[in-house]
Amino acid sequence: MPWWFFRRRSRDTAPTATSAQSPSGWLPGEVALPRLQGSRRYLQEQPYLLPKDLGEVNRLDFQHYILRALLRGNYLAPLQQPHRILDVGCGTGQWAFELAQQFPQAEVVGLDLEQVKPSASPPPNYRFVQGDILQGLPFDDNSFDFVHQRLLVLAIPQTAWPAAVQELARVTTPGGWIELLEVGTALQDYLPSGPATQEFYQLGSQLAALRGIDTDGTVMRSLARYLEEAGLVNIHYQALDVPLGEWGGRIGSLMALDAREAWKAINAPIAARFGRSEQEILQLIEQAYQEWTQFRTQLHFAVAYGQKPI
């Protein structure tokens, strides 16, 4: 499926179901979830799987602090004094707010489909720009000396990843850095896994596959290759295996809570898609949550960064 396939249909002619069927069997009409499903709010006409609502704002902020603790900071790239920083798919903006505070001389831009926390008072050197990485970024070539993108694996269809990273490289200044952080999407990224984890995973991955989203962990494992193909050099790749559950200490406990909430976030579309009740899927998620401690499950993440040649 070409990466531009998911352009908003309000601007493009809607492809017919027969002409536009993807190799995975995805049909265009299936992307558009009802705006409200169960108690959650989802975007329409986007492959993005997770909700956009207050519950998700809270989860993303919670997750931000876990990831910051895990990385012992907000990034791994060897930055000097960046002048312009871009966070693609900025979510609540928390990461970008903190970069703006850390580098008060820099201009920090957060880009997302929607601004979700407009009531927050961001630092004066931060600004939000509405945009869609699948349509190309609304910035000139060589605009930012640090471009960051975190956890868009459930938003960018697998075949669109190389072009999306090339787009990040286009807006990066020579000598500037790109950093990507992603989570694994394969069952093997929850290892070892119990039966409830496996059952929920199968449902979630079938839903993701309908949108062309990676379900075998290829994206996370290909981050360094995408950077290399986009022409970057000095590439570093770091795998992070994060415990789920109290057995993994504070980060393990928090990450298990976060993963459980992330799974709950797709409860409604899974229940609707597979003709199951939301209560039934919630019980499955609770069982999986217990299993993570019982089996000592680890969830796989990876960070990759690279430099645009001067």
Ligand X SMILES: C[S@@+](CC[C@H](N)C(=O)[O-])C[C@H]1O[C@@H](n2cnc3c(N)ncnc32)[C@H](O)[C@@H]1O
Residues lying near ligand X in the complex (CB under 6 A) are found at 46, 48, 50, 52, 60, 64, 89-91, 95, 112-114, 132-134, 150-152, 155
Least Å distance, CB 197 to ligand X, is 20
Which CB atom, from 183 or from 232, has the smaller least distance to ligand X? 183
Q: Which is nearer to ligand X, 137 or 203 (CB)?
A: 137
Tell me the closest approach of the beta carbon of residue 20 to ligand X, in angstroms.
Answer: 18
Q: How far is the CB of 56 from ligand X (least distance, A)?
A: 8
Furthest CA-CA distance within the chain: 55
Of all residues in the shown chain, the one whose CB is closest to ligand X is 91
Looking at the Cβ atoms of 76 and 113, the one nearer to ligand X is 113
**Which residue lies nearer to ligand X by CB, 178 or 196?**
178
CB nearer to ligand X: give 60 or 77. 60
DSSP string over 108-158? EEEEESS---TTS---TTEEEEE--GGG--SS-TT-EEEEEEES-TTTS-G
What secondary structure, in 3-state letters, does 144-204 show? EEEEEEECCCCCCCHHHHHHHHHHHHHHEEEEEEEEEEEECCCHHHEECCCHHHHHHHHHH
- Tokens representing 230? 């986009």
Under 8 Å between Cβ of 155 and 89:
yes
Give residue 138's Cα distance to chain centre.
20
Residue 55: CB minimum distance to ligand X, A? 13
**Least spacing, CB of residue 62 vs ligand X, in Å:** 10
- Of 77 and 196, CB closest to ligand X: 77
Q: Minimum Å distance from CB 234 to ligand X?
A: 23
Residue written as tokens 């799987």?
Answer: 49
CB 186 within 8 A of CB 288: no
